[in-house]
């Protein structure tokens, strides 16, 4: 296991290294990512056109789909793979950098894999091998992939704030309700629950867990997020009343490449586990029952209160 810059460098050196990382990577992203996002837009528009044509009864031929799949492969080879390789070479051996990259690589890859999976299933539908698939486009903004030195460091902050932010998803339109339970004091006010974490990564992994819960509730349901303090540990649970995970799949959900979702990359939960266990030195566990729902449990060391500035 590689060690983090948090363990090996002085504060000023950590900032310098991270600033240099940002200076190298951000110009490359600004130069190259727009080309990829433009290609994604064209690919998704083509998928939506396929979906429209099927909906009005127009015929789609197998050669059309094969040409589309070839186009997607060209996007992967000429735009996606070189971009990811370049950013990967910039991370060095720092665990925080690598995990942040992995989280963002998962998001960058998502539209491409979604289009590829849709094309495969559409071809299967035409061959009468499966049901008609639905395609849902994914929107990405370039600003969300840029880096700053300040976001690449461990902070001793209230984890409840980020849990509360996660609950800001617009769930009502999907028939999904959410409940967030945070620790309270005797007067009913929220209590700060301090955990040493990397805020930008915490946002990424909480987003991933919430998205997983949403995907498990195609017909509506409830998501419940709770933060509790037990002795010197902070316990965070993400629960849903969704479809649940089969017992045989529970053994594999953290494996890279394993997914049961349309357009999935099979990387999301592995990234989450790596972050909580390898960087924050906590635990990340899952329990599930088919037809009842799933609960992801995060256990982290509780930090001491911040010292007041003198």
Q: What are phi and psi of 91, to 5 degrees?
A: -80, -20
Instruction: List pLDDT tens digits, range 127-185.
Output: 999 888 989 888 777 877 777 777 777 889 999 998 888 765 545 556 788 888 999 88
What is the Cα–Cα distance from 2 to 124, expressed in whole angstroms? 43
Closest listed residue to residue 119, CA positions, set 44, 191, 52: 44
CA end-to-end distance (rounded Å), the chain: 38
Instruction: List pLDDT tens digits, range 228-245.
Output: 998 889 999 999 999 898
Residue 194's pLDDT is what? 94
Q: What is the pTM of this model?
A: 0.62
Beta bridge partners of 228: 235
Residue 143's pLDDT is what? 76
Residue 213's pLDDT is what? 86
The C-alpha angle 50, 54, 56, rounded to 5 degrees, equals 120
Residues of the chain with pLDDT under 70: 1-16, 90-103, 167-174, 256-268, 306-310
Residue 38's pLDDT is what? 93
Tokens matching residue 191? 């209590």
Residue 6's pLDDT is what? 43
Instruction: Name residues whose C-beta falls within 8 Å of residue 262's C-beta, 6 or more positions apart in sequence.
Output: 114, 117, 118, 121, 133
């Amino acid at each position: 296991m590689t060690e983090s810059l948090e363990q090996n460098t002085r504060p000023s050196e950590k900032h310098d290294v991270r600033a240099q990382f940002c200076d190298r990577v951000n110009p490359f992203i600004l130069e190259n990512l727009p080309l990829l996002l433009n290609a994604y837009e064209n690919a998704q528009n083509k998928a939506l056109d396929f979906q429209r044509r099927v909906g009005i009864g127009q015929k789609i031929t197998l050669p059309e789909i094969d040409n589309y799949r070839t186009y997607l492969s060209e996007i992967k080879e000429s735009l996606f793979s070189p971009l990811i390789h370049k950013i990967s070479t910039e991370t060095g051996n720092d665990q925080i950098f690598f995990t942040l990259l992995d989280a963002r690589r998962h998001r960058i890859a998502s539209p491409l894999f979604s289009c590829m999976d849709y094309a495969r299933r559409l071809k299967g539908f035409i061959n009468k091998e499966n049901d008609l698939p639905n395609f849902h486009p994914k929107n990405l903004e370039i600003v969300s992939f840029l880096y700053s030195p300040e976001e690449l460091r461990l902070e001793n902050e209230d984890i409840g704030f980020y849990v509360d932010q996660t609950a800001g998803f617009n769930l009502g339109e999907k028939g999904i309700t959410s409940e967030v339970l945070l620790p309270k004091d005797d007067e009913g006010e929220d209590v700060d629950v301090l955990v040493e974490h990397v805020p930008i990564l915490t946002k990424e992994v909480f987003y991933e867990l919430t998205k997983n819960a949403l995907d498990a509730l195609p017909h509506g349901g409830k998501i419940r997020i709770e933060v509790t303090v037990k002795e010197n540990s902070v316990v965070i649970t993400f629960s849903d009343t969704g479809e649940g995970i089969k017992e045989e799949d529970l053994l594999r959900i953290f494996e890279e490449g394993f997914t049961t979702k349309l357009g999935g990359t099979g990387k999301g939960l592995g990234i989450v586990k790596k972050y909580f266990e390898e960087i924050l030195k906590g635990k990340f566990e899952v329990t599930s029952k088919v037809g009842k729902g799933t609960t992801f449990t995060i256990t982290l060391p509780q930090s001491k209160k911040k010292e007041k500035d003198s």
